[in-house]
Structure 1
Amino acid sequence: MENIIHCPKCNEKIDVSDAMSQQMEQQLNDKYQQQLKKQDEAIAAKKNKMDEAARQLALDKKSFQQDIDLKVAQQLKADKVALTKQLKSQFEQDNQLAISALQDDLTEKSKKLKLIQKIEIENERLKREKDEAVHEANLAAEKAMSVQLKIERTKINEQVHTEHELKLKEHQSLINSLKEQIDITKRKAEQGSMQLQGEVQELAIEEWLEAQYPFDQIEEIKKGAQGADCLQHVVNSLGTECGTIYYESKRTKSFQPSWIEKFKQDIRDKNASVGVLVTAVMPKDMKHMGQVNGVWICTFEEFKGLSLVLRESLIKLSKAIAVQENRGDKMVMMYNYLTSNDFSSRVEAIVEGFTELQTDLNKEKLAMARLWKKREKNIEKVLLNTTEMFGSVKGIAGSSVADIGLLELAED
């Protein structure tokens, strides 16, 4: 028999037996799940009880162990105390005799120590009394010695004071004498130094004139003789004396105007044509060479150019005077011209030009010297490199390379 019904809506066939079977299966399953849940809850409750019992057991075990440890410790402590008492009693019994012997020995030594201390105290007292007696004796002796020393010291001080005063006066006198000698020596040294410096410049002037003008006569004025330092007799190419130039050398720290008048008098005494004062320090109102009251004043550097100009001027004047021999006094004409402003201006211009030419010449010499040195270094460098290159080639190629005579050593 078929248990099939139709759905009134969709007309779908439904098996009634299958539906009931599924419903019963669902009911059984739900019932089983409920029973299973109850069993799980019962098991969980039992497990909780067992865990609680285990924790309680652990606590009881721990408490029991603590009680056991405490009782064991108490028993050990009691045993230790009893053992200590027993050992102490035995030790006291064993050492009672030794302690008694030591006590007797200590008592005996204490008596001896007291006796020794009493003896030491007595010794200290005797020593102190002895020291006091010695001190009093020394004090008395020192007082007597002090009085005697004071007397002797007074005598010695008086004697030393007298001797010291005499020696002090002698030393002071000696010092004053030495100071005077030092001052005299210092002044002589300064004078000698200034004189030596002047002589050096004077000698340099004479040597330069002799070297520059070999036909002129350079007359040295001897030391101690009246007059300036040297006199130049100017001689022309025909051997005729054309005039004289008088030179005075001064090399001091300051210029003295009185030199000019004295030098003019020396010029007149020597009947010189012109005078030149060569000085290391120019007058305050002069920065370079010039003429003052008929006397030429210049430095040693300017002297060379001035000397050349003055000499040429004397030669030309001498020639002009010779041509105009019957037209007046030669010496007057020469003196008037040499002391004129025109001659002074011309000489200054010539000397300035000469100085500039000399400076330019020195500069050119230095420049050419540097240029020659540079070229010489370059030539040496080229020659050295050429020699090294030829040597390298010769070392590689051997005798197949011809020798170069200029690069070979000269044979004796």
Structure 2
Amino acid sequence: NKAKQEVIDETQLLMAQKDKQLEDLRKQLGEAQRKAEQGSQQTQGEVQETFLEDMLRVEFPYDEVKEVPKGVEGADVIQIVKTNSGVKCGTIVWESKNTKAWSQGWVAKLKADQRTLKAEVAVIVSKVLPESVRLFGIVEGVWVADLSVTLGVATALRQQIIQIFNAKAVSANMSSKAEIVYEYLTSNNFKQRIEVWVDYFKQRKEEIDKERAYFVKKWEKEDKSILQIFNNTAGIYGDLQGLIGNALPKVNYLELDGSSVDDETCEDAAEKEPHV
């Protein structure tokens, strides 16, 4: 709980510092604009452009905000959107206008700058907006916003760029994995590995069939040998029984049920038979 509270306190402190910096920038802008009212229109535009740059740097410290030098053709400010880990996600080009009338030519010029820089989004921040736009909107594919809502527009557009970048990264990663799997399944390496397994099972089946045939032959041979030994043993037992009679111990396996009674009857009949 203590660690959590420390993190909350630190976050609140950073937010307070950021709010103060933004408030200071607004005050500086107001003061600069008042001083510039007696100056040229170019000076007034430069004041607003400087405020826009500073506001973007303060609010999005992980992004790279670059000023286009005066006299160089192109947008006024270039904002390279980055994640907290420094991964580039996209680009926003900004044009700052502080004039008494709106010009549709600004849109065409900024769209050309957007194509040149391959930027995802283009925004015109203007003191005067087209009649069809209130506070912010889109004119021919270019975002247009009043200075008072610029921070909110920038936050929303930046978040959208990051989300689209992440979605594309996930999609590209999935496509890449699918292509890798397909290439592996259609490769000679995969074919050879399958052939190794097929050959192994085929060899094992042949070995099992050979072993089965060998043991069947062996069992038949042993069965014949055992039968021969058994027959010989039974023959010897029968010979001895004929010589000795009932004095020979009985081997039940070699006797039939009731055989002993029949033998005694036969012997008694032989003794009673008169001698000639």
TM-score by length of 2: 0.48
More helix by share: 1
In the superposition, the TM-score normalised over structure 1's length comes to: 0.33
User: Which structure has more RCO (C-alpha within 8 Å, separation ≥ 6)?
Assistant: 2
Q: From the CA coordinates, give the structure whose radius of gyration is larger.
A: 1
